[in-house]
A and B are shown apart, each in its own frame.
Chain A
Amino acid sequence: MPPTSPALQAASGARAPAAGADRHARRRLLALLLVGLLLGGLAGLATGSGGFSLASLQADLAGDQAGLILGEIRAPRSLGAALVGALLGLGGALAQGLFRNPLADPYLLGAAAGAGLAVVLVLAGAALGGLHLSLAAALWLERVGLVAAAFVGALGGVTLTLLLARGALHTTRLLLSGVVLAVLLGALSDLVTVVSPDALRGKQAFMLGSTSFLGWSSVALMAAGLTLLLGLALRHARALDALTLGEDSAASLGLDLGRVRLVLVLLLAGATALAVSQAGLVAFVGLVAPHLVRRHAPGAHAWLLAASALMGAVLLLAADVLSRALIAPQELPVGVVTAVIGGLYLCLLLNRRSAHA
Chain B
Amino acid sequence: MTVPRLEATGLRVGYGDRPVLQAVDCRIEAGWTAIVGPNGAGKSTLLRVLAGLLRPEAGEVRVEGRRLGELSAVERGRRIAWMAQLGEVTGELTVRETVALGRLPHLGLFGTPGAADEAAVDRAMAEAECEGWQDRRLTALSGGERQRVLLARALATEAPLLLLDEPTTHLDPPHQVALVRLAQRLARQSSHQPTHQLDGRRSVVTVMHDLSLALAADHLLLLQDGRVTCAGAPADPALRAALEAVFRHAIRIVQQDGQWVALPRLA
Show the binding face of A for B, using Cβ within 8 Å.
1-2, 4, 8-9, 11-12, 15-16, 18-19, 22, 97, 100, 235-236, 238-239, 241-242, 244-246, 248-249, 251-256, 260, 294, 298-301, 304
Q: Smallest CB-CB separation from A259: which chain B residue?
A: B73
Chain B residue at minimal CB-CB distance from A20: B135
Among B77, B84, B127, B175, contact of A246 (Cβ-Cβ < 8 Å): B84
- Interchain nearest-CB distance for B121 vs A (Å): 14
* Closest residue on chain B to residue A254 by CB atoms: B77
B82 within 8 A of A: yes
Identity of the chain B residue whose Cβ is nearest the Cβ of A17 in the assembled complex:
B135
With A9-B132, A244-B90, A254-B77 given, can you name 13 additional A-B contacts, CB distance below 8 Å?
A1-B181, A1-B182, A15-B132, A15-B136, A18-B135, A236-B109, A241-B93, A244-B93, A251-B53, A252-B77, A252-B81, A252-B82, A255-B73
Q: Are the CB atoms of A245 and B48 closer together than 8 Å?
A: no
Q: Which of B148-202 contact A (CB under 8 A)?
A: 150, 153, 157, 174-175, 177-179, 181-182
Distance to closest chain A CB from B101 (angstroms):
5
Complex Cα–Cα for A321 and B177 (A): 62
Looking at B98, B131, B132, B138, the one whose CB has the most chain A CB atoms below 10 A away is B132
CA distance A125 to B127 in the complex (A): 68
Residue of B with least CB distance to A303? B92
Shortest CB distance A319–B (Å): 26
B82, B108, B135, B175 interface centre (most CB from chain A within 10 Å): B135
Cα separation A100 to B132 with both chains bound (whole Å): 28
B97 to A300, Cβ gap below 8 A? yes
Q: B77 and A4: CB pair below 8 A?
A: no
- Majority-rule SS of A interface residues: helix
A-B contact count (CB 8 A): 116
Q: Please, which residues of chain A bring their CB within 8 A of the CB of B83?
A: 249
CB of B110 closer than 8 Å to a CB of A: yes
Do B182 and A241 touch across chains, with their CB atoms under 8 A apart?
no
Nearest CB in chain B: distance from A294 CB, A: 6
The answer to whether B153 and A239 touch across the interface, beta carbons within 8 angstroms, is no
Q: Which of B71-120 contact A (CB under 8 A)?
A: 72-78, 80-84, 87-94, 97-98, 101-102, 104-105, 108-110
* Complex: chain A residue closest to B80, CB-CB: A252
* Complex interface: chain A residues within 8 A of B102 (CB): 253
State A9–B130 Cα separation when bound (angstroms): 10
User: Bound complex: CA of A231 vs CA of B136, how far in Å?
Assistant: 28
Chain B residue contacts of A294, Cβ below 8 A: 92
Could you say which interface size class chain B belongs to? Answer: 35 or more
A253 touches B77 (CB 8 A): yes
* Interface status of B228 (Cβ within 8 A of chain A): no
> Are A248 and B48 within 8 A (Cβ)?
yes
A17 nearest CB across to chain B (Å):
8
> Taking CB as reference atom, which chain A residue is nearest B104?
A253
- Tell me, in angstroms, the Cα distance from A236 to B133 when the chains sit together: 27
**Complexed CA–CA distance, A2 and B181 (Å):** 9
Cβ of B74: which chain A residues have Cβ within 8 Å of it? 254
Nearest CB on B from A204, distance (A):
37
* Min distance, Cβ A18 to any Cβ of chain B, angstroms: 5
Please, how many angstroms separate the alpha-carbon atoms of A253 and B81 in the complex?
Answer: 8
In the complex formed, the residue of B with least CB distance to A304 is B92
Task: List 11 contacting pairs A-B, 8 Å CB cutoff, sorted by A.
Answer: A4-B129, A18-B136, A242-B104, A244-B138, A245-B101, A246-B88, A252-B51, A252-B52, A252-B82, A254-B77, A255-B77
B82 x A248 contact (CB < 8 A): yes
- Which partner residue on chain B sits nearest A99 by CB separation? B90
Instruction: Output the nearest chain A residue to B111 by Cβ-Cβ distance.
Output: A238
- For residue A248, give the distance in angstroms from its CB to the closest CB of chain B: 5
Contacts of B87 in A (CB 8 A): 246
What are the residues of chain B within 8 A of A244 when measuring CB–CB? 89-91, 93, 138
Q: Which A-B residue pairs are the 5 nearest by beta carbons? A: A254-B77, A12-B132, A244-B91, A19-B135, A298-B92
B109: contacting residue among A8, A239, A245, CB under 8 A:
A239
From A238, A254, A260, A304, residue with most partner B Cβ within 10 Å: A254
CB distance from A353 to the nearest CB of B (A): 15
List chain B residues, Cβ under 8 A from A2: 129, 174, 177-178
Inter-chain contact B84/A245, CB cutoff 8 Å: yes
Asked if B73 and A256 sit within 8 Å, CB to CB, the answer is yes
Query: With a CB–CB cut-off of 8 A, which chain B residues contact A241?
Result: 91, 93, 97, 101
* Given A12-B133, A19-B94, A239-B109: A245 in contact with B182 (beta carbons within 8 A): no
Residues of B close to A260: CB separation below 8 A: 109
Contact A300 B92, CB 8 Å, known A246-B87, A248-B82: yes
